[in-house]
């Protein structure tokens, strides 16, 4: 999967709850993107009739795109996304970043929290959120103490405990209401 193409294609879809369009068009476009760029076949989605989709819970398609490590796709149930988590997702938007310099402190705080929810987009064990901490601290060192006060603590990140990690292995045969792609570039 090409991280640049997936991030660009998904970037045209709504990512904010307030911007959700009729879900049939979102589902159709996501299926096209998965077939074009993620190795899926059209037959993989044939069983998803309008009737079947109508009976399914809505999901956010979350794509973590990394220029070195590839793409990890997740289907996060909207019911698992609380208002606070939604604020973090929407603060990130369809971001492309190299490091903290590409964010303001609030955006970087949102990235830290989302990374802690998924722990590692590419399958690092939950205990490795602690291993991410030195990277967070090093990257956040660019801001003043006052700006860094807005960043989460290690204890806060640990408390998020990879709650969304299982969604990164979820089936893409879902009813999608929106999509968000975040790309770590080089």
Residue 50 to residue 22: CA distance in whole angstroms = 12
102-121 mean pLDDT: 82
pLDDT in tens, 115-147: 888 864 444 454 455 566 777 788 888 888 888
Q: How distant, in Å, are the alpha carbons of 12, 28, 35, 75, 181 from that of 61?
A: 13, 13, 15, 5, 8
Phi, psi of 144 (to 5 degrees): -70, 165
Q: CA–CA separation, 66 vs 184, rounded Å?
A: 5
Q: How would you classify residue 165: left for phi > 0, otherwise alpha for psi between -120 and 50, otherwise beta?
A: alpha
pTM of the model: 0.85
Close Cβ partners of 106 (under 8 Å, ≥ 6 residues apart): 91, 150
Angle ∠(148,150,155) on CA atoms, nearest 5:
90
Reported as a single tens digit per residue, the pLDDT across 15-42 is 998 887 666 788 889 999 999 988 899 9
């Amino acid at each position: 999967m090409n991280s640049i193409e997936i991030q660009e294609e998904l970037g045209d879809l709504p990512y904010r709850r307030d911007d959700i369009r009729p879900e049939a068009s979102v589902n159709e476009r996501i299926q096209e993107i998965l077939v074009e760029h993620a190795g899926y076949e059209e037959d993989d989605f044939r069983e998803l009739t309008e009737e079947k989709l109508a009976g399914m819970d809505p999901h956010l398609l979350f794509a973590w795109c990394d220029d070195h490590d590839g793409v990890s796709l997740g289907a996060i149930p909207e019911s698992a996304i609380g208002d606070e988590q939604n604020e973090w997702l929407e603060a990130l938007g369809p971001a492309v970043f190299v490091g903290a310099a590409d964010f303001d402190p609030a955006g970087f705080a949102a990235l830290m929290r989302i990374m802690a929810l998924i722990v590692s987009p590419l399958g690092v064990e939950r205990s490795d959120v602690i291993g991410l901490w030195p990277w967070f601290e090093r990257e956040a060192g660019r801001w003043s103490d006052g700006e860094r006060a807005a960043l989460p603590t290690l204890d806060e990140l640990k408390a998020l405990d990879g709650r969304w990690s299982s969604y990164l292995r979820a089936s893409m045969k879902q009813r999608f209401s929106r999509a968000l792609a975040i790309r770590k570039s080089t």
